[in-house]
Amino acid sequence: MKRVGDAGPDAGARGTDDGSGALRRVVPHARRFLARRTGVLVRLTLWSLAETGQAFLLGYGVARAVDRGFLAGDTRLGLLWLTVALAAVLLGAPVIRGVFAQLAGLTEPLRDGLVRSAVDRSLTRAAAGAGAPGGTDRAAVSRLTNQVEIARDSFAGLVLTLRSFVFTAAGALLGLLSLHPALLVVVLPPLTGGLVLFLATLRPMAAAQRRALAADEALGDHAARSRAALRDLTACGTGPETARRGAELVDDAAAAARALAGWAAVRTAALGVAGHLPVLALLLAVPWLRGRGVTAGALLGAFTYLVQSLLPALHTLMAALGAAGSRLLVVLDRIIGPEPEVGPEPAVGSERELKPGWVSRPESEPGWEMKPGSVSEPGRTRTPGEERTEELASVPAFTRPSRPEPAYAAARRPAPGAVGGAVTVSARTSAGLPDAGDGAPAPREHARRGPDAAVELRSVTLSYGVRAAPVLDSLDLCVAPGEHLAVVGPSGIGKSTLTRLIAGSLLPSAGEVRVAGREVTGRAPAELAALRVLVPQEAYVFSGTLSDNLTYLRPDASRADVDAAVGAMGLRPLVERLGGLDAPARPAVLSHGERQLVALARAYLSPAPLLLLDEATCHLDPASEARAEESLARRPGTLLMVAHRLSSAVRADRVLVLDGTKAVCGTHDEVLDRSPLYRDLTGHWNGTPAAGP
């Protein structure tokens, strides 16, 4: 199952790779890249040859200064050879400058190429519809910034040190050979032993590096998703679950970092063998070397080669290959390796991720613990009715508020036992079409369709782009006049899209939207305004008096009507604070909640028969929200609202659960039975009452 924060399919599959697969994938790209830059490589080689000469002269100059100069009593010659050695050291500065100038000819094209590749990949994934509708490839940010820079820096470091080691080692070994072949016999075994040990750590180190990167991406992805869904997490009470998953990911990242550190320790041991044993061996072998005619100058020259050239070059090579090499391989493979497959949207109710920390799981899945009041208990079978009864009884938050039932609600309440009723909803893949039990719509249902319906959607499909996956797919919905319908669903599922379609501010890609029996498509703004009011999440209050704001949609409202709206929405304290209805109401001095109350009171006063609220109560505290909602529901007309808290759904006559291309509609109890998603929502909500309303 894919959980929040799990790295993508590529991360998982490649996370187990020991590095050889990545090497196979990356090498052809590297060959092509280098083949196109032979000029730079030749110039780099020429500059590097100067390093060979420099390394050679350093030890050779010291050896000759001792043997032919100072020990032979010719101080002048000794100083001359020392000057040669010094000149070799000083030669290093212009050589490094030349090397760096050529290096830029390799690293900058590499970075440009990787950025292009990362962007191409992200666009391809976006076009293929990775994730939920509107889902994004969040790891792309990491690839584009962090990982490309890692690749560039690692590549530069690698070229610099690998080249330096090869050319310096060539100069030093040549020097040792020229001083005395026996020196090589002593120095080479520990040197090669250390190098072999070091090379043996490369693969496991690359795998550990890969795991660390995957863990880092997963943690970043989880954090980004959680941040984007904070509002839903709070409303659904899934914060603790998300925090728990975040803690798991932090643990994973820490474990990966520890594994990496372990291999770094082995590598340090290899460096000790290769870097320090040759010096020790040389010291211990002095008598043996002297016996073979190795002069004091040659010994001193050999030490100079080891300490000044070979070992520093080896040290930097190991550090670079160890860290930068495996990092480079892993990052290159992530950016230019095979494109991870983007499969079709998994079916809702299977293993599809709904939102951070809120994952639709089969109820039988181990680890899907029961929380007080959640729906099923492993090992015990209960009838749906029993489950509902227990659940509602055990959790006060789920008890329907006792309010007088509006007359219209009683009139349209379905007969006991009947499923469905005044609201129908279906989608191409939905199994939730209410019917009379024999497949045909219930008679009451028929009566609500056509000109009688307050809102009717017939096979409505909405895609935001020609190639984009539809947000709503063949959706049928029928809302009776006077109905109070709550729309719920995960973030980004299409709730706002639905309200905008019904409001007529968005045209369906296919199908028909009718309000009060009239098709909304192509209707003039004034006509639409007479049919419906849409209150969005961010309430609009204009500069003017409070009265101007409240009566904007109904200029002829009497003072009594306005007073009634003020009372119904709980605006009285604000009116008093501002100094009366005719006092200026500057939007800047109102809180978000006060602005929402003003917008709701304006909608309450509107003569439009249909009110559409798109999380229009999200800034209100639960008590104010309940009062506003109940007043709006009592107002003559139909109320369709995107629920911010599940308590809103419990208060509504019907609940429409949008769940990908599935949609389920019915009373709270009915959708609890039929919608696993709704059960998930309510289960989580119940489990953390502190976060609930």
Ligand X SMILES: Nc1ncnc2c1ncn2[C@@H]1O[C@H](COP(=O)(O)OP(=O)(O)OP(=O)(O)O)[C@@H](O)[C@H]1O
Q: Applying CB under 6 A, which residues contact ligand X?
A: 133-134, 464, 471, 489, 491-497
Nearer to ligand X, 314 or 658 (CB): 658
- Nearest residue to 41 via CA among 31, 29, 26, 52: 31
**Rounded distance between C-alpha atoms, residue 186 and residue 520, angstroms:** 91
- Please name the helix (run of DSSP H) or strand (run of DSSP E) that holds residue 425, with its range, or none: strand 424-426
**Rounded distance between C-alpha atoms, residue 14 and residue 144, angstroms:** 19
Identity at 548, one-letter amino acid code: D
Residues in the chain: 693
Indicate the Cα dihedral angle 165, 171, 172, 173, nearest 10°: 100
Q: Rounded to the nearest whole angstrom, what is the least distance from the CB of residue 497 to ligand X in the complex?
A: 3
At 229 the three-state DSSP class reads coil
Nearer to ligand X, 65 or 487 (CB): 487
Integer-rounded Cα radius of gyration of the chain: 37
**Rounded distance between C-alpha atoms, residue 265 and residue 72, angstroms:** 47
Q: Rounded to the nearest whole angstrom, what is the least distance from the CB of residue 360 to ligand X in the complex?
A: 16
Q: Rounded to the nearest whole angstrom, what is the least distance from the CB of residue 240 to ligand X in the complex?
A: 21
Report the residue closest to ligand X, judged by CB: 134
Torsion region of 219: left, alpha or beta (phi above 0 gives left; psi -120 to 50 gives alpha): alpha
Nearer to ligand X, 134 or 346 (CB): 134
Q: Rounded to the nearest whole angstrom, what is the least distance from the CB of residue 594 to ligand X in the complex?
A: 22
Identity at 14, one-letter amino acid code: R
Distances (CA, A) of 447 to 440, 441, 443, 634, 686: 13, 10, 6, 23, 37
Identity at 378, one-letter amino acid code: P
CA atoms within 13 A on the CB side of 667: 16
- Nearest residue to 405 via CA among 656, 628, 642, 653: 653
Nearer to ligand X, 303 or 685 (CB): 685
**Rounded distance between C-alpha atoms, residue 327 and residue 154, angstroms:** 7
At 479 the three-state DSSP class reads strand
Q: Rounded to the nearest whole angstrom, what is the least distance from the CB of residue 137 to ligand X in the complex?
A: 14
194 φ, ψ to 5°?
-60, -40
Q: Rounded to the nearest whole angstrom, what is the least distance from the CB of residue 259 to ligand X in the complex?
A: 37
Nearer to ligand X, 209 or 497 (CB): 497
Q: Where in 550-671 does DSSP place strands (E)? A: 584-585, 610-614, 638-642, 654-659, 662-666
Nearer to ligand X, 320 or 663 (CB): 663
Q: Rounded to the nearest whole angstrom, what is the least distance from the CB of residue 322 to ligand X in the complex?
A: 43
Nearer to ligand X, 227 or 586 (CB): 227
Report the Cα 302 to chain-centroid distance in Å: 56
Nearer to ligand X, 129 or 406 (CB): 129
Nearer to ligand X, 214 or 471 (CB): 471
Q: Rounded to the nearest whole angstrom, what is the least distance from the CB of residue 136 to ligand X in the complex?
A: 9
Nearer to ligand X, 224 or 300 (CB): 224
CA 420, 425, 428: angle at the middle one, nearest 5?
130
Q: Rounded to the nearest whole angstrom, what is the least distance from the CB of residue 514 to ligand X in the complex?
A: 20
Q: Rounded to the nearest whole angstrom, what is the least distance from the CB of residue 556 to ligand X in the complex?
A: 34
